[in-house]
Amino acid sequence: MTNVKQRVQELRNLLQQASYAYYVRDNPMMEDAVYDQLYRELQDLESQYPELVTPDSPTQRVGEKPASEFSSVRHNIPLYSLENAFNLEELAKWQERWQRYAPDVKNVEYVCELKIDGSAIALTYKDGVLVRGVTRGDGVTGEDITQNIRTIRSIPLRLSTETPPPIVEVRGEAFLPLDVFEGINREREAAGEALFANPRNAAAGTLRQLDPKIVDRRQLDFFAYTLHLPGSEEQETVPTLKSQWEALEFLRDLGFRVNPNRKRCASLAEVEEYYQYWDSQRRDLPYMTDGVVVKLNSFSLQEQLGFTQKFPRWAIALKYPAEESPTLVQNVTVQVGRTGALTPVAELKPVQLAGTTVSRATLHNRDRIEELNLHLGDTVIVRKAGEIIPEVVRVLPELRPPEAKPVQMPTDCPVCHQPVVRPPGEAVTRCINASCPAIVKGSLNHWASRGALDINGLGEKLVNQLVDSGLVHSVADLYQLTLDQLTNLERMGEKSAQKLINQIEQSNTQPWSRVLYGLGIRYVGTVNAQILAQQFPSVDQLAAARVTDIESVYGIGSEIAQSVNDWFRVPSNQTLINRLREANLQLAGEPKVASAEAKSQPLQGKTFVITGTLPTLKRDDAKKLIQNAGGKVTSSVSSKTDYVLVGEDAGSKLEKAQELGINQISESDLLQWLNE
């Protein structure tokens, strides 16, 4: 038993060091296959000897059971918010204010850190082990989300030190990297769900998910920015930290990620230079930042200055100006997606934002319209949320015309005119008429998309013609189209018609995973479809699977499992599968992957960077393909990069790769490797 205990501890130490090297240092110390082998060995030992399982074990990161609710807890140390400055003049006035409380202080140092646009969280470690993670809440109380915090790989479950402080409170920001955020929104769009407006909202929503498996899949990241050591003056093993800069260095030594773009500044002029530099460079960062946090470096000076009723006097958030502009709401239209979701859209008087002309902005759902109290003809403030999605921020009711009428969501589908419903617990109103032309058109466009059956030539205009003419009522009808039917359509010659028929026929060679994605089952995006197709190698196996069978697959949660199971229970969907079978679609053929050893790993140990726009693959899909083949994808080019995957409009990453002599490959090169 002693040997088993020693081996378990040895495995945990190795896995913790490897996780730190991979997620914090971005410098892997072992191959993924080696990590997987060690992880499975630890799992096996803990399964045989459950009394050896501890909360800080790497196997305990993702909890098995969803929480029923989050409990409200009081912070050990309040989380103060920061006073905001919106320009350099207000920054100078802040300096004047704190100097009144410390007029004799000279040679002041400031520490500047990028203000990450995420969610603040507080972590508590006892004897080096993570015991609690809490949302900021109102600064005095927050919600205990420890189970979700544990899924964030850049947060250590055990501190990287042999002599941990008895208690340490770590504060930081949980956030979603931009590529992860964009991937989540693509998945949500494919599943017919409302998009997240920005990475901050997505991070906050993710942290409050009751199911930790969902949190784990969304790949939150974390930067630590401060810590508190209660009773540290009485502990000989705890270092005496004299400054914010020393605290950041100590956090890094404990195993946390701290922002690499921090800087010590000897004057307010240097702070201003830092602020202005990142105002132009922040759009190249892999995460959102909305300003700069400026702190006085000296802890003794911080203690001397103290706090106001709301803010610390020794720190301020210098915000970058938001790209907002007023404009008029000329109309509100309602779109019907392929899942029947009704999405209201504000039609705006065109306005320039973030370098583009914005004439439409999503209103999300009925709740958002009611919250805004929106009327036709209102003057509204529009912002590009996260510089990605145009949204209406607020209404200016004082400018409302006297005759303006309130905006209301329709009670009938604007396309098929059938009654709409709002399912319990959902914010989205839906048309549930499966024959609704809007739903049929959305299904066809999704079926023909690159990630699904990739039918070249079947675009939106042609889909509209096929549905409006009554030729197509489901995706199965595509495989019954004749040359005569197509040539009777507007602007469709015989040559074009034959080419389209050939493309449709060729689509039946696409693999089972693409067919599954193309079916448009709610919550099933490209990655989930690949996972399901590997674990259920035929449509018959997936159709026969119970909810518990499906949700037991790693990466598939209960919500996805229930949606898949429900879809196959619908008689019309069973008929669709039978018709696709008659059309010789690939409804089987992808073998189940039993283990990491059984899976081909042609890119094992290779590090890639992706730059530019790829011809057919979305960046997130290319990243998943590389990772599934054993490779690693990083955000920046270094001497450790093996290959740079280059698309159109490649920028500075390609230039750096050329300087370092790193191999460049195209999308076709990558796909050829994966198919060999």
Q: Which domains does the chain have, with CATH numbers?
A: 1-52 (1.10.287.610), 83-319 (3.30.470.30), 324-407 (2.40.50.140), 437-508 (1.10.150.20), 512-583 (1.10.150.20), 607-675 (3.40.50.10190)
The answer to whether 82 is a known ligand-binding residue is yes
The answer to whether 650 is a known ligand-binding residue is no
What is the band of 471 on the pLDDT scale with cuts at 50, 70, 90?
Answer: very high
> In the prediction, which pLDDT does 616 show?
64
The answer to whether 34 is a known ligand-binding residue is yes
The amino acid sitting at 563 is: S
> In the prediction, which pLDDT does 427 show?
78
Annotated catalytic residues are 115
Percent of the chain with pLDDT over 90: 38
> In the prediction, which pLDDT does 66 show?
56
The answer to whether 599 is a known ligand-binding residue is no
Percent of the chain with pLDDT over 70: 89
Does the pLDDT of residue 156 top 70, yes or no?
A: yes
Order of strands, sheet of 167-175, starting from the edge strand that comes earlier in the sequence: 129-135, 119-126, 167-175, 221-228
Does the pLDDT of residue 35 top 80, yes or no?
A: no
What is the band of 22 on the pLDDT scale with cuts at 50, 70, 90?
Answer: low
The answer to whether 431 is a known ligand-binding residue is yes
Helix/strand/coil for 539: helix
Does the pLDDT of residue 294 top 90, yes or no?
A: yes
> In the prediction, which pLDDT does 437 show?
92
Residues 395/371, Cβ–Cβ less than 8 Å: no
Q: Of 181-190, 193-202, 448-457, which range is least confident?
A: 193-202
Q: Of 252-261, 421-430, 479-488, 538-547, which range is least confident?
A: 421-430
> In the prediction, which pLDDT does 597 show?
39
Q: Of 59-73, 155-169, 196-210, which range is least confident?
A: 59-73
The answer to whether 35 is a known ligand-binding residue is yes
Which one, of 199, 251, 204, 208, lies nearest residue 226 by Cα?
Answer: 251
Degrees (nearest 5) of the Cα angle 33, 34, 37? 85
> In the prediction, which pLDDT does 295 show?
96
The answer to whether 649 is a known ligand-binding residue is no
Does the pLDDT of residue 233 top 60, yes or no?
A: no
> In the prediction, which pLDDT does 531 show?
81
What is the band of 26 on the pLDDT scale with cuts at 50, 70, 90?
Answer: low
> In the prediction, which pLDDT does 596 show?
38
What is the band of 387 on the pLDDT scale with cuts at 50, 70, 90?
Answer: very low
CA atoms within 13 A on the CB side of 448: 26
- Give the residue with greater pLDDT, 109 vs 391: 109
> In the prediction, which pLDDT does 595 show?
38
580 class by beta-carbon count within 10 Å (0-12 exposed, 13-18 middle, 19+ buried): buried
> In the prediction, which pLDDT does 600 show?
54
Which one, of 292, 296, 291, 305, lies nearest residue 244 by Cα?
Answer: 296
What is the band of 386 on the pLDDT scale with cuts at 50, 70, 90?
Answer: very low
Does the pLDDT of residue 195 top 80, yes or no?
A: no
The answer to whether 81 is a known ligand-binding residue is yes
> In the prediction, which pLDDT does 311 show?
81
What is the band of 74 on the pLDDT scale with cuts at 50, 70, 90?
Answer: confident
Average model confidence (pLDDT) for the chain? 84
The answer to whether 295 is a known ligand-binding residue is yes
What is the band of 518 on the pLDDT scale with cuts at 50, 70, 90?
Answer: very high
Let me know how long the chain is: 676
Which one, of 476, 675, 491, lies nearest residue 583 by Cα?
Answer: 476
Give the integer Cα–Cα distance in Å for 284 and 463.
38
Give the integer Cα–Cα distance in Å for 328 and 400.
10
> In the prediction, which pLDDT does 64 show?
52
Does the pLDDT of residue 324 top 60, yes or no?
A: yes
Q: What confidence tens digit (pLDDT) does each residue in 629-644 have?
A: 788 888 778 888 888 8
> In the prediction, which pLDDT does 389 show?
66
> In the prediction, which pLDDT does 132 show?
94
> In the prediction, which pLDDT does 104 show?
87
What average pLDDT score do residues 142-170 get? 90
> In the prediction, which pLDDT does 163 show?
86
- Give the residue with greater pLDDT, 305 vs 5: 305
CA distances from 635 to 222, 431, 607, 611, 652 (A): 16, 41, 10, 9, 12
Which one, of 416, 408, 391, lies nearest residue 340 by Cα?
Answer: 416
Give the integer Cα–Cα distance in Å for 378 and 372.
11
Q: What confidence tens digit (pLDDT) does each residue in 86-138 have?
A: 889 999 999 999 999 888 888 899 999 999 988 899 999 999 999 999 998 87
Q: What confidence tens digit (pLDDT) does each residue in 244-284 have?
A: 999 999 999 999 999 999 999 999 999 999 999 998 888 88
> In the prediction, which pLDDT does 249 show?
93
The answer to whether 36 is a known ligand-binding residue is yes
> In the prediction, which pLDDT does 99 show?
93
544: phi then psi, degrees, rounded to nearest 5: -85, -10
Which one, of 448, 500, 440, lies nearest residue 468 by Cα?
Answer: 440
Q: Give residue for tokens 């409170």.
A: 169
The answer to whether 188 is a known ligand-binding residue is no
Residues 45/4, Cβ–Cβ less than 8 Å: yes
Q: What is the CA radius of gyration of the chain?
A: 28
The answer to whether 101 is a known ligand-binding residue is no
Q: What confidence tens digit (pLDDT) does each residue in 591-630 have?
A: 444 333 334 577 887 888 888 877 667 777 788 788 777 8
Q: Which residues of 293-302 are buried (b: 16+ CB within 10 A; e: fewer)?
A: bbbbbbbebb
What average pLDDT score do residues 651-660 get? 77
> In the prediction, which pLDDT does 556 show?
75
